[in-house]
Amino acid sequence: MDFVRRSICLQPRRPRPLTTGALSGLLLFLFAHAAVPAAAGDTLERGSAYMGIGVQAHEGGPGTPDAVPSDGRTGQPEGVDVSSYQGKVAWATLWSSGVKWAYTKATEGTSYRNPSHSQQYDGAYAVGMIRGSYHFATPDTTGGAAQADYFVDHGGAWSKDGRTLPGVLDIEWNPYGDSCYGRSKSAMVTWIRDFLDRYKSRTGRDAVIYTSTSWWTQCTGNYSGFGSTNPLWVARYASTAGTLPAGWSVYTMWQYTSTGPTVGDHDRFNGGSTELGKLAAG
C-alpha cells in the first residue's frame, strides 16, 4: 500500500484549465510583448532606415494626409518613395491612381543594399513611370565620397534615357542615435559636399538633396551653399511645404505625407510633366 500511495503521489498533476480572467491576462501580456516595427529612437538594425523615418519621429508622428485642394495642384505630377519595407509594390495601381514618378532606396552607408531595389526600380519603369534611386546617409559610419561611390556602384547611377532621375542624398534625423550623427555643423557640411562632389564626378549630375528644414538648420547651421546647384526635396507633412532651408527659394519635390494610398510616402513635383522630363533628361 505504501508503494501504491507513493506512486499515486508521484503522478504528474494535470494543468487546470485557464479561467476566462487568466486567459485574458495572458493574451494581454502576449500582445504587449509582441514584435512591432521599430521606430526612430528604438534600437534599429542598420539598413532598416527609410526616407522620412527621422521626420516622422521628430516632426509630427506618422504624417498627415494632404490638405491642399485638388485644384491647387493641377498639373503637378504625383510621386512616391519606397524601400524594402514595401516589398513588392503595386505599381500598376499607383499608375492608375495618377502617380507618375518614383524613387526607390538603393543603399545605406557602405554596407547595405535594398534587396527589393531591382524589382521596385524596374517595376516603376515597366508601368511608364520616371524613376530614380536614393541613398540613406549615415555620416557616422564612413565618409561622404565613399558612400557616394557605394551608391553609384549599387543602383544609384544615372542614365540619359529620359526616364531616369538623378540620385538623391537622403540626409535627415539619425534613427540610430545622435540626431546629427555626432558631427559638428561644419563637419556635416563637409561630409555632404564630399558626397555631392563625388556623385557628380561619377555621373555628371547634381544629386537631389532630401531633408527637412528643421534638421538642416540644426545640423548644418542652415548652410546655404548647395541651393544654386542641387535640387531640393523637402519633407514636411502638412498642407504647405513651409519655410525652406537656406539657399533654396523653391523646392523641386515635396514629401507631403507618409499616409498616402497604396504606399504611405507620397510626394509632389513642383512643376509640370515637361519639367519633370527635363530633370530626368539632364
**Residues identified as active-site:** 81, 170, 172
Beta-carbon contacts of residue 156 (< 8 Å; ≥ 6 apart): 106, 107, 133, 134, 135, 167, 199
Pairing of strands 112-113, 99-108: antiparallel
Q: What is the torsional sign of CA 177, 182, 184, 188?
A: negative
Helices in 11-138 by DSSP H: which ranges? 20-32, 53-59, 91-96, 117-126
DSSP code, position 235: E
35 SS3 class: coil
Grid coordinates in use for 196? 555631392
Pairing of strands 168-170, 99-108: unpaired
Q: Tell me the sheet residues that pair with 233.
A: 210, 253
Environment class of residue 85 by beta-carbon count within 10 Å: exposed (0-12), middle (13-18) or buried (19+)?
A: middle
Give the residue from 280, 213, 201 showing the smallest Cα distance to 247: 213
Per-position b or e across 207-231, b if 16+ CB within 10 A of its CB: bbbbbbbbbbbbbbeebeebbeebb
